[in-house]
Amino acid sequence: MAKGTLVQKIIDRHYVDGAKQQGAVVAIKIDQTLTQDATGTMAYLELEAMRQKKVATELSISYVDHNMMQNGPENRNDHLYLQSVAAAKGVKFSPPGNGICHQVHLERFGVPGKTLLGSDSHTPTGGGIGMMAIGAGGLDVARAMAGKPFRMIYPKVIGVKLSGKLNPWCAAKDVILHLLSILTTKGNVGTMVEYFGDGVLQLSVPQRATITNMGAELGVTTSIFPSDERTKQFLTAQGRGADFVPMTADPDAEYDRIIEIDLDKIQPLAACPSSPDNIKTIAELAGTRVGQVIIGSCTNSSFRDLAMVASVLKGRKVSPDVTLAIAPGSRQVLEMIARNGMLADMIAAGARILETGCGACIGQGQSPANGTISVRTFNRNFAGRTGTKGDQAYLVSPETAVATALKGEFCDPRTLDIEYPQISDPDSFLINDNMIQNPPENGENVEIIRKETIGQPPLNQPLPDTIDGSVIIKVGDKITTDHISPAGIHLKLRSNIPAYAKVVFECFTEPGKPSFAERAAAVRDAGRHGIIVGRESYGQGSSREHAAICPMFLGIKAVIAVAIERIHRANLVNFGIMPLEFDNPADYDLISEGDTIRIDECREQLSSMNGINASIIGADGKPKADIRLKGPTNPEDVQIILAGGMLNL
C-alpha cells in the first residue's frame, strides 16, 4: 500500500468504511458533485426516484454544456427540467453559455483536499487544483447527492515525478500524451496517478488541469497534483484565496510505481487515429495536409491556452485550406479575451468562434469532410466521434494546433519563425457569477418542469435463477461507450430510453441486416436473455450510464469480457447487468455470435463470489465448452445485481 501520498491523506480524511487494502472496496464521503446535461437528466430523475427532498452534499452543481444544439425541442426540454429540479433539490444551476462544467468548476468552485464526484468521465480535471475528483455514472452521483458514500477500489498509486521545465512551444498536453505512450489506455483500473517533484512548480493550475483532465484516458480512477503556491496564486486571482489549503505528499511518500518525466525533454506530440494512446511526434507527421483545426474542449480552453493562440494569430491569416474553430471553455475566458482584444485578433485571422460548450468534442457540429484530417485539442479521438464515418482525428496541444492552422499541414511549432508568446497567469481573473442560479432556501414548492420528451428510468427485473443467454454481439478490444451508446446527434434522445436504445452498437450494423437493438429485442421478446461478449478494456471512455441502461432495456443480462473498465462496470452493476470476466482469456475465442451461454443456479453462484461456471452451446445446439467466469466480489454489488439494479433497492 502506498504510504504518505496525497491520495492516502485525502482518502483518510473522507473514509467511511471498508478495508484500506489495494483491491478491496472502500467507501468515502463526497463533498461536492457536478452533473452535465447529457448525463444529468437521468441522474436527477434517479434522485427523484429515491424520494430525496434536498441534496445532502456541501455543494452540488448542475451544468448545461453538452447538448445545446436545438434541432427539435428535446435538448431545451431537458434544460428546463434541469433548471427546475435543481431549484427544487438545492442544487446550483449553470445554464447554457456559462461554460464547460470542468472549466467553470475549476475556476469558481473547486477546493483543494475536497472530494468531487461528477457524472462525466473528465471530472478528474479538478485534480489540477488538488481535489480528489472522480468521474462516475449518474446513479452513483445521485446517491452521493443523497448523502450516500461513494464506493471504489482502494487504489494503487502511481507517482509521476516531474523535473525540469517545459521548453517554448512544448505544452502540458504533450506531457499527458507522453504518459499515455507509457501507460496506454488499458490495464490501469484501480489506480490513481499522483504528480510530485520539482517540475510541478513550473506548471500553472490550468496546465495541471490539462494533464489531470486527459488522465481519464489512462483508465485510472483519477489524477491529482499537490496544492501549493501556484494553487494559491490561481485561487487568489479567482477571488477565492480563502479556499486555499496546502496539500502535499510526505517527503518520504511511498508509491507503488514511479515514472520520471523530465519536462526539458518533452516534445510536441499527437495522438493519432483512433485512440488517445496512439502517439507520434509532430516531427514524424510534419508536412501532412490538414483540413480542419479546432481549439477548445475541457482539456485546452483556458485563458492561458487561448491567449497564446490569439498572440500567435495576431496579424496573420489561417491557411485557406483549413477551417479553424475556437471554443472558449467558459464565459469568464470568453469575456476576458473579448475585453482585451484577443478575440478580435482571432476573428481577424479567420477563426470561427464557437459556443462555450462541448459541441464538436462530442460530435455535435464541426464534423470534418470525408477523407480529411482534423486536428483537435480535445481528449478523445475514438473512431466516428467527430460525426464523420471513417474520420481521421488527431489530438494535439494548442501550440501545435495554431501552428498547423497557419501552415495548412502538420507543423512542429518549434519550427515557426515566431517568438513563443510569454503568457503570464493573470493577477486577477474577471469575476462574474451572475449566470449561476442559486436554489431557494426551501424548494419544496418549486414546480419541476417535465415536457413530454422527459421519460423515467426503466426498471430491470431481478436476476433469474437460470441465464439462457444468446450472444447478441461479440466485439474486440477498446470498445468505448461511444460505440455502445453513440453521442453526437443521438444524445438528444438521452431522456427517452426506448428511442435511444434503438441506436445501441449502431456503428456495427451492416447494411441490410438487423441492428443490435432489433436482434436483442427479438431475443428479449422470446423470453430469453441477451449477452454481450468483449475483449480488453470494454466500456472505456465516457461515464455515460446509458451504455448500461439501454442494453438493460433491450434484455441484456451479462457482459462477458477479458477486462471491463471501472465506470462502465459500476454502471452495469447499478442497472442489474452482470459484469463478468473470463477466468481464462483464451476462452474468448471459443464464443461466436449466436451461441448460447447458459448459467445454471446463477443467483447462488453469483452470491458465492467464488466465480461462475457457464456452458457455451453452439448455434447448432451442440455443446462447445464449459468455461469459468469471474464475477463481482463485493457483497453490495452482488445484492444490487440480484435485485435487478440499484433503483429496485
Note whether 400 and 268 are within 8 A (CB): yes
Q: Which of 230, 519, 535, 544 is catalytic?
A: 544
Strands (DSSP E) contained in 529-607 are 529-533, 556-561, 578-582, 596-599
What are the grid coordinates assigned to 520, written together?
436483442
| Given 94, 330, 537, 542, the catalytic residue | 542
Distances (CA, A) of 138 to 37, 47, 547, 561, 591: 11, 9, 12, 23, 32
Grid cell, residue 154, equals 482502494
Tell me the three state secondary structure of residue 394: strand
Extended strands (E) in 170-305 = 191-196, 222-224, 257-262, 269-271, 279-281, 292-295
CA–CA gap between residue 522 and residue 73 (Å, rounded) = 31
Catalytic residue among 66, 494, 535, 566: 66
- The closest of 3, 69, 25 to 566, measured between CA atoms, is 25
Q: Answer yes or no: 65 catalytic.
A: yes
Segment holding 8, helix H or strand E: helix 6-14
Residues forming a β-bridge with 118 = 34, 135
Sign of CA dihedral 380, 384, 386, 390: positive
195 class by beta-carbon count within 10 Å (0-12 exposed, 13-18 middle, 19+ buried): buried
- For every residue of 289-303, which 3-state class applies, written as one string? ECCEEEECCCCCCCH
- Decide if 230 contacts 204 (C-beta within 8 A): yes
420: helix, coil or strand? Answer: coil
Cell of 639: 445484492
What angle is formed at CA 590 by the lines to CA 585 and CA 593, rounded to 5 degrees?
115
Q: Helix and strand tally (H, E) in the chain?
A: 20, 26
Is residue 420 within 8 A of residue 80, CB to CB? The reply is no
Cα(392)–Cα(396) distance, integer angstroms: 13
Active-site entry in 31, 78, 120, 243:
120
> Does 544 qualify as catalytic in the annotation?
yes
- Contact (CB, 8 A) for 226 and 130: yes
How many Cα atoms sit within 13 Å of 275 on the Cβ side?
16
Cell digits of residue 227? 496544492
User: What order of strands is seen across the sheet that includes strand 150-153?
Assistant: 15-18, 25-28, 150-153
The residue from 331, 376, 380, 546 that is catalytic is: 380
- Residues taking part in catalysis: 65-66, 120, 380, 542, 544
